[in-house]
Amino acid sequence: MDSKQLFIEHLAGELQAMEVGRVPMNALRYRVHAKMLRKALLGAATPSLLERQGGAHPQVVHALSNRFFEETGHLLQPNATGHKARSLLERTLASCRQARQK
């Protein structure tokens, strides 16, 4: 692991520790660590971040899925509920457009 990956791993571990209660939650510290993690992930290669022994860190996966959504507008792993909600929204919008044109 290079130093950037170790830094990302450290930040993700700190965030996870606060979320599960291993260390006391500190809102300012949490926000600072989360912002530092987002910035550290900007230049990092996604595949190398996901190839951690024992699986990718949950905080890293969450940050990468947020980044993917911000860049593409799509969920990283869409599920059946998401597809149903989208199709319902599209049908509702279509019926609103038709009613508006009349």
Q: Is residue 85 part of a domain?
A: no
Strand, coil or helix: what is 74?
Answer: coil
- Round the average pLDDT of the chain to a whole number and report it: 83
Locate 23 and state its tokens: 């260390």
Q: Is residue 26 part of a domain?
A: yes
- Compute the average pLDDT of residues 78-84: 66
Q: Is residue 102 part of a domain?
A: no
The whole-angstrom separation of Cα 10 and Cα 59 is 11
Q: Which residue has 């599209």 as its token pair?
A: 90
Total number of domains constituting the chain: 1
Q: Which domain does 15 fall in, by range?
A: 3-77
- pLDDT for position 79: 63
pLDDT band of residue 45 (cuts 50, 70, 90) is confident
pLDDT band of residue 93 (cuts 50, 70, 90) is confident
Q: Is residue 82 part of a domain?
A: no
Q: What angle do CA 39, 78, 13 make, to 5 degrees?
A: 35
* pTM over 0.75, yes/no: no
pLDDT band of residue 78 (cuts 50, 70, 90) is low
Q: Is residue 43 part of a domain?
A: yes
- pLDDT for position 31: 96
